[in-house]
Amino acid sequence: MTTWLQCDACSTRFDLLEPIARCRQCRGLLALASDLGPTDLARRFADQGSCSPALRRSGVWRFRDLILPEARDADVVSFPEGNTPQVQRARVAEWAGCRRLWLKHEGMNPTGSFKDRGMTVAVTHARRLGARAVACASTGNTSASLAAYAAHAGLLGVVLIPAGKTALGKLAQTVAYGATVLAIRGDFDACLDLVDQASERLGLYLVNSINPLRLAGQKSIVFELLEDRAWRAPDWIALPAGNLGNTSAFGAALQQAHALGLIDRIPRLAAVQAEGAAPFARSYREQFAQRYRVEADTVATAIRIGNPASHDRAVAAVRGTNGVVTMVSDQDILAAKREIDQAGVGCEPASAASVAGVRRLVREGTIGPDEDVVAVLTGHILKDPEILLRDRGDVVREIDPTLAAVEAAIASAGQR
């Protein structure tokens, strides 16, 4: 059995252990390819014999056969991660107009976002390659995850973030875990261009979501989501879409699960962008006739991305799942977030885009009110405390330290 890197564009193959982020021939994106057929893989996976008890505790590594079969136990850098809850909350379902709405909360990963699922695989691979340093551009969550996993692996972590546009919780985490943080006077897209060049020049191993190991790890969101439902596929999976790595990983995972016979039909993907950062949604409206680049702006800073790197792969994911792409306003994102927060679940603004997207698609008649839908919440509520308090800070009332004042305040709260 062998796994190799293969260029999406020109099909050139490279050894898995080449420390490259892009194709050396044409700079296309690289994917993992393997000579294991679906039947062999399905057998290996069902057997689970290759997974040690320690790895089985990770919601990523217990799917090792479907992700990176040749990862060696000794190399694995795992928290462990994954095993995130999939819950139903009547309040959110009602708001979205979708009775059978499930929330898969990826914010419950070790650093508070789904990024840990890809990062454990990319950093494991970096260690196997003997890399000294790992680097990424980030709107904040990838950087927090990189910083934590680099610290765990004893590697130098370098992150490029857009200056002044990274949510406080993410920045604080990244600093605390000990990464080298470079705040770039530019947007995320500029950071990605820069780190792409710098990684080649300076020998840093690039772990942005163009890295195929990251995407392989992120497939585990879908595997776990399906496994939790005893491999009965939902009708839809909705997710927020920015740089489109996750959309691509979801598409690949669904195709793989279907090819292996783990599910008997492929759920439809609903990729949701913020109106102010919606180049992919715009392209979708034109049947992907062309690719767009926009100046992005949205309250959901995680998906404030104007030139998504994984556009082509995400097109394949949407087409391959008979999926849709939509966009929602910042106002709708914050309204969805309020519902999710007040249901006691909570998430960061970008994550709420998935639920706001479901609501829009139900209203438009694309998603039926009785269809079975999983919306993925990608990040934790504490990632962006500033937006939270800007939106809801007025509920905090400062009062005098007297019983009378407490009594009056509680009485008036009861009347609200």
Closer CB to ligand F0G, 6 or 142, in the complex: 142
Q: Is 307 in the site for ligand F0G (CB under 6 A)?
A: no
Contact criterion met (CB below 8 Å) for 361 and 355: no
Q: Is 110 in the site for ligand F0G (CB under 6 A)?
A: no
Distance CA 117, CA 128 (A): 17
Supply φ then ψ for residue 273, to 5 degrees: -110, 160
Selected from 238, 303, 317, 381, the binder of ligand F0G by CB under 6 A is 303
Closer CB to ligand F0G, 126 or 238, in the complex: 238
Whole-number Cα distances in Å, 388 to 30, 136, 341 = 38, 27, 10
Instruction: Give the dihedral sign, CA 82/180/199/27.
Output: positive
Q: Is 162 in the site for ligand F0G (CB under 6 A)?
A: no
Selected from 69, 80, 82, 140, the binder of ligand F0G by CB under 6 A is 140
Q: Is 350 in the site for ligand F0G (CB under 6 A)?
A: yes
- List the beta bridge partners of residue 246: none
Supply φ then ψ for residue 162, to 5 degrees: -70, 125
Q: Is 242 in the site for ligand F0G (CB under 6 A)?
A: yes
Part of the chain binding ligand F0G (CB under 6 A), chosen from 147-155, 219-227, 235-243, 403-411: 235-243
Per the listing, tokens 């993992």 go with 32
Give the SS3 label for residue 15: strand
Q: Is 243 in the site for ligand F0G (CB under 6 A)?
A: yes
Closer CB to ligand F0G, 58 or 243, in the complex: 243
Closer CB to ligand F0G, 66 or 249, in the complex: 249
Nearest distance, CB of residue 408 and ligand F0G, angstroms: 40
Selected from 378, 381, 384, 388, the binder of ligand F0G by CB under 6 A is 378
Q: Is 348 in the site for ligand F0G (CB under 6 A)?
A: yes
Nearest distance, CB of residue 209 and ligand F0G, angstroms: 5
Q: What is the 3-state secondary structure (H, E, C) of 358-400?
A: HHHHHHCCCCCCCCEEEEEECECHHHCHHHHHHHHHHHCCCCC
- Give start and end residues of each alpha helix (H) in 97-211: 115-129, 141-153, 168-177, 188-202
Q: Dump the DSSP string for 303-360.
A: G--SS-TTHHHHHHHHHHTT-EEEEE-HHHHHHHHHHHHHTT----HHHHHHHHHHHH
Q: Is 301 in the site for ligand F0G (CB under 6 A)?
A: no
Closer CB to ligand F0G, 4 or 288, in the complex: 288
Q: Is 112 in the site for ligand F0G (CB under 6 A)?
A: no
Part of the chain binding ligand F0G (CB under 6 A), chosen from 5-13, 71-79, 281-289, 344-352: 344-352
Q: Is 141 in the site for ligand F0G (CB under 6 A)?
A: yes
Give the SS3 label for residue 115: helix
Nearest distance, CB of residue 232 and ligand F0G, angstroms: 26
Count of chain residues binding ligand F0G (CB under 6 A): 23
Residues 4-23 that bind ligand F0G (CB under 6 A): none
Helix (H) or strand (E) holding 181: strand 180-184
Contacts for 376 with CB less than 8 Å, ≥ 6 apart: 103, 104, 106, 114, 221, 225, 237, 238, 239, 240, 351, 354
Closer CB to ligand F0G, 16 or 296, in the complex: 296
Part of the chain binding ligand F0G (CB under 6 A), chosen from 30-38, 229-237, 243-251, 335-343: 243-251
Contact criterion met (CB below 8 Å) for 9 and 29: yes
Closer CB to ligand F0G, 239 or 362, in the complex: 239
Residues 182-221 that bind ligand F0G (CB under 6 A): 209
Part of the chain binding ligand F0G (CB under 6 A), chosen from 56-64, 174-182, 241-249, 355-363: 241-249
Helix (H) or strand (E) holding 240: strand 236-240
Distance CA 99, CA 235 (A): 13
Structure tokens at 148: 């934590």
Q: Is 357 in the site for ligand F0G (CB under 6 A)?
A: no
Nearest distance, CB of residue 63 and ligand F0G, angstroms: 19
Residues near ligand F0G (CB under 6 A) are 113, 115, 138-142, 209, 240-247, 302-303, 348, 350-351, 378-379
